[in-house]
Amino acid sequence: MFSPVVGYSTQGIQGGKLNCVALQFADVGDDDGMASLANLSTTGLTAGQYDTMSTDAPCIMIFDGISNYDYYFYISDAYDAEANEVTAWADTNGDATDVAKVIGTGFWLRIPDGTCNTGTLTESGEVSSAATTTIDIAVGLTLAGNPYPTAMNMSKITTTGLTAGQYDTMSTDAPCIMIFDGVSNYDYYFYISDAYDAEDNEVTAWADTNGDAVTSNIAEVGKAFWARSATAGKLTFSL
């Protein structure tokens, strides 16, 4: 369910690096929760050219759930549906894209060296008014993200179909959320049945690498993360 309220969020992006981003706002009038890449606007980014876009253009990389990515490039000589030359996110054929993904989809935003020192990425559209939003998790890796324009407490991310692991073997048998630190490393959180809460009670929860249940706002606004699981299931975000 989506409200008639139109919102937006803006986050900083770094040149010469990978930025891990999530789609959060549905297209206006879309009740299915689909978000178009066309709703992403930028400041501080230099658009590339079609002929050299693989090296000089900002690039959105959307994981296909197996081992490959779909690529979309920000170029100044894309062609729209009327064959007008426009600055837009384009597919590998140079056509301005209207591809849409469900909110909560994560993607990598790759900024080549020299195209941006610092800039911003702004997402806009309709805000979800649903109390919960569910994201499908595949076997293996899923690039997912916070579907709400507010930081999400880890205790409000519940699971369906995912089997909790054990602390002693969590690195191999537990569902895991991996949050990119913006440089080259990840923070890891494991779904285990023998985590310890603040009162030293043993609980099933998302835990840090010490086995302590995590209740802080880990899923930031506009940010994506890897979800790794041995079984298919769902993550449900609750406001």
The two tokens of residue 132 are: 């919960």
The two tokens of residue 150 are: 């507010």
pLDDT above 70: residue 65: yes
- Ranges assigned E (strand) in 56-167: 59-63, 69-79, 85-90, 100-102, 106-110, 118-128, 132-137, 140-145, 152-153, 157-160
Beta partners for 159?
A: 235
The structural domains of the chain, with segments of one domain joined by +, span 2-128, 132-238
The class that CATH gives domain 132-238 is mainly beta
pLDDT band of residue 138 (cuts 50, 70, 90) is: very high
pTM above threshold 0.85: yes
Please name the CATH architecture into which domain 2-128 falls: Sandwich (2.60)
Give pLDDT tens digits for 212-222: 999 887 778 88
Let me know if the fold of 2-128 is the same as that of 132-238. Answer: yes
Q: Are strands 186-196 and 106-110 parallel, antiparallel or unpaired?
A: unpaired
Please give the angle made by the CA atoms of 187, 234 and 107, to the nearest 5 degrees: 55
- Rounded-to-integer distance, Cα 105 and Cα 102, Å: 6
What residues contact 184, with CB distance under 8 A and at least 6 apart?
none
pLDDT above 80: residue 30: no
| Integer CA distances (angstroms), 60 to 121, 149, 210, in order | 12, 20, 34
- Mean pLDDT confidence for 186-201: 96
